[in-house]
Structure 1
Amino acid sequence: MSTDLKNTIFSVNIFNTNTSQWERYTLKGLEPMPKAENLSVYELADYSSDFDKLYTTYIFTDTKTLNQWNNYRKAIGTPISITRAYCSVKHNKDLASKYPGQVAKYSQHMAGKAFDMVPYYGNITLEQMYKIALSYWTFVEPDYSSHVHGDARDPGSPYYPIVQYGSQNVYGATCQDALYYNGYLTLTDIDGIFGDITKNAVIKFQKDHNLTPDGIVGSQTWSALLPDT
């Protein structure tokens, strides 16, 4: 690993699902992750071991996800390693190009709501981790041959929810990241708050892609915004 993640400064953005407000921190990678137990900031970094690349220094997640992690980690009772957590749209696309058919277009990693986890030095098996995960994560990927995937998606849909003017949540940040990926926003516009700048960017994107230019990101706009995998 050429990137010193532990000493990198990260912009940590946590959406508090109880207060419906963003909580923001500037932290070194080695510092404890706020709202989380037994977790350092760098473990959630948008870093790819496949490409030895740190894609961004911002991290987005929410308290629902961190609470599910906390309860799961407590139930495990022993250290485990996170191989993938927050993942930008560009990172997800690069992984999909390398592993065709194995990366979800609507990945919960892009919303900061998913963790891929493996045993730490073999002190627990993947099968044991998987069975425990079923009781603590909203969704657990049934294939645990290489890692256990747990995420805190909204139950009932594999897709992303509608986001529009006034929305504040991790999916709003994902929408902004997708607009940035497509050239309609700048990196500094990604804050998880769907305001005028984001709405205008969505409308321009919709016009350019023959979609209804209403500024609302529903299923058709999400499908066009997110790169195929």
Structure 2
Amino acid sequence: MARLLIYDAYENKVYTYANLNENDPMPYSTLTTLRLREFRGKSASPTLWTTIAAMEAWNLTRRKYGRGIPVGYAFRRIWEGGHGTRSQHYAGVAFDVGQSLDQRQRTAIYNAARTSGAWGYVEPLSQTPTWVHFDRRYGTPACSGTTAGYPTLRRGSRGCYVMILQDALSTLGYQTGSRIDGIFGARTEQALRGYQKRTSLRVDGVCGCDSWKKISTAVIGIGRTKTTID
């Protein structure tokens, strides 16, 4: 059984699905076009997360393509690694698909994703020769001069990027609470301030560009630790 957190940006709320089976359809996805096990990919995490917007983008792309889209990679936790330092896969809003298809089919999926207008980013096919990447990133990146990365977070922030921060800080030994909940409250701020102080960052309780760089670099791919929470 898996615990799934889904962020609703429209209402700024996090919804919890406490007991999902691997073959259950992802909430907010159309029928059985995307099952939990497909979204999970190779992640071994008992807790996963995504957004309603990502599921809606999936539905539009699947509808435009008109047939099944095999998913190679979607969700991953930052300490599991496997993607870039501040990858959208760790936010649960990115998909790498079509690895088992031919180039013609992948081009059709790419075109469906592009013309849907629902994704924040669809990677050019020249950069993904054997798969198609699209993601529903949201917010303004904390680091200027880029469209990638994660937004600035502070007390009161909610969503999947807060989940990444809670996951990373707890794995590094700075407790944000007993469970990941996607809500930046007092304990998440305290944990962040502790990490900032320990690593000579500005101690302001705000996760901006410098904090994201240092935290993500420290935790990427290190594996689950004894302090990791779910």
Q: Shorter-normalised TM-score: what interval?
A: 0.7 to 0.9
Work out which of the residue numbers 157, 179, 184 in structure 2 matches 1:194.
184
What's the TM-score once normalised by structure 1's chain length?
0.83
Using CA pairs under 8 Å that are at least 6 residues apart, name the structure with larger relative contact order, 1 or 2.
2
Q: Deviations over 1:141-194 (max 9, x none)?
A: 112312101001137721210111111111110111111232213784311011
Q: Which runs of 5+ in 1 are unaligned?
A: 1-8, 49-53, 96-102
Q: Percent identity?
A: 29
Residue identity in the other structure for 1:110: Y
What's the TM-score once normalised by structure 2's chain length?
0.83
Q: Tell me, what secondary structure is at the counterpart of 1:172?
A: helix
Q: Distance in 2 between matches of 1:23 and 1:164?
A: 20
Work out which of the residue numbers 22, 30, 34 in structure 2 matches 1:29.
22
Q: Deviations over 1:36-95 (max 9, x none)?
A: 1111111111x42xxxxx431111101111111110011011011111111101112xx2
Cα pair distance change 1:32/1:59, threshold 3 Å: same
Match of 1:162 in 2: 152
Q: Distance in 1 between matches of 2:8 and 2:210?
A: 28
Cα pair distance change 1:134/1:15, threshold 3 Å: same
Matches within 5 A, 1:149-228: 149-154=133-138, 157-185=147-175, 188-227=178-217
Match of 2:121 in 1: 139
Work out which of the residue numbers 57, 74, 78 in structure 2 matches 1:68.
57
Work out which of the residue numbers 80, 83, 93 in structure 2 matches 1:113.
93
Q: Distance in 2 between matches of 1:55 and 1:227?
A: 21
Q: Deviations over 1:12-48 (max 9, x none)?
A: 1101122111111121111111111111111111x42
Q: Please provide the CA RMSD for this pair.
A: 2.1
Q: Distance in 2 between matches of 1:207 and 1:162?
A: 18
Q: Distance in 2 between matches of 1:146 and 1:187?
A: 40
Q: Tell me, what secondary structure is at the counterpart of 2:115?
A: coil
Q: Distance in 1 between matches of 2:55 and 2:148?
A: 20
Residue identity in the other structure for 1:205: Y
Q: Tell me, what secondary structure is at the counterpart of 1:135?
A: helix
Q: Distance in 2 between matches of 1:196 and 1:44?
A: 31
Shift of 1:221: 0.4
Q: Tell me, what secondary structure is at the counterpart of 2:14?
A: strand
Shift of 1:205: 0.2
Work out which of the residue numbers 31, 40, 46 in structure 2 matches 1:57.
46
Tell me if structure 2 keeps the 8 A contact 1:127–1:144: no
Q: Which runs of 5+ in 2 are unaligned?
A: 141-145, 221-230
